[in-house]
Chains A and B, each alone.
Chain A
Amino acid sequence: MTARNIYRKTLNNVMLSVTALCALVTVSTLFVVLAYLVYNGASSVNLDFFLKLPRATGETGGGMANAILGSAEIVGFATLIGVPIGFFTGVYLSEWGGQGVFSFIVRYMCDLLNGVPSIVIGIFAWTVIVRPMHHFSALAGGFALSLILIPITAKSTEQFLAEVPRALREGSLALGATKWRTIASVVVPAARKGIMTGIILGVARISGESAPLLFTSLNNEYWSSGLSEPTASLPYMIYTRAISPYDDWHRQTWAAGLVLLGLVLVANIAARLILTRGSSSARG
Chain B
Amino acid sequence: MTPARAHSAMPQTAMNTSPSEFNHPAQASAQVQTPPAKMRASNVSFHYGTFRALYDVTLEFPANKVTALIGPSGCGKSTFLRSLNRINETIRGARIEGEITLDGEDVLKMDVTGLRRRVGMVFQRPNPFPKSIFENVAYGVRVNGLASRSELPDIVEKSLRRAALWDEVRDKLHESAHALSGGQQQRLCIARGLAVEPEVLLLDEPCSALDPIATAKIEDLLVAIKDQCTIVIVTHNMQQAARVADNTGFFLLGRLIEHDRTDVIFKNPSKKETEDYITGRFG
A-to-B contact residues, CB < 8 Å: 98-99, 165, 167-178, 181, 185-186, 189-190, 281-284
Contacts and interface: CB of A to CB of B under 8 A. Distances in A.
A176 B130 contact: no
B189 interface: yes
Given A169-B90, A174-B116, A190 B144 contact: no
Interface stretch (B121-129, B264-272, B273-281): B121-129
A57 B129 CA distance: 60
Contacts of A176: 113-117, 140, 143-144, 196
Given A190-B130, A281-B178, A178 B139 contact: no
B90 A168 contact: no
B83 to A, nearest CB: 13
Contacts of B193: 174-175
Q: Which 4 A-B pairs have the closest CB atoms?
A: A284-B178, A176-B117, A175-B140, A174-B121
Contact of A172 (B85, B129, B176): B129
Interface residues of A, dominant DSSP: helix
A99 to B, nearest CB: 8
A189 B85 CA distance: 25
30 contacts: A167-B123, A167-B125, A169-B90, A171-B123, A171-B129, A171-B189, A172-B139, A173-B87, A174-B85, A174-B87, A174-B120, A175-B140, A175-B143, A175-B144, A175-B192, A175-B196, A176-B113, A176-B115, A176-B140, A177-B113, A177-B140, A177-B143, A178-B113, A178-B143, A186-B130, A189-B129, A189-B130, A281-B130, A281-B178, A284-B177
Contacts of A181: 143
Contacts of A284: 128, 130, 176-178
Contacts, number: 81
Nearest to B192: A175
Nearest to A99: B92
Given A170-B90, A175-B139, A177-B144, 19 more contacts: A168-B129, A171-B127, A174-B116, A175-B143, A175-B193, A175-B196, A176-B113, A176-B114, A176-B115, A176-B116, A186-B130, A189-B131, A190-B130, A281-B178, A282-B130, A283-B178, A284-B128, A284-B176, A284-B178
Contacts of A173: 87, 90, 116
A68 to B, nearest CB: 38
B117 A175 contact: yes
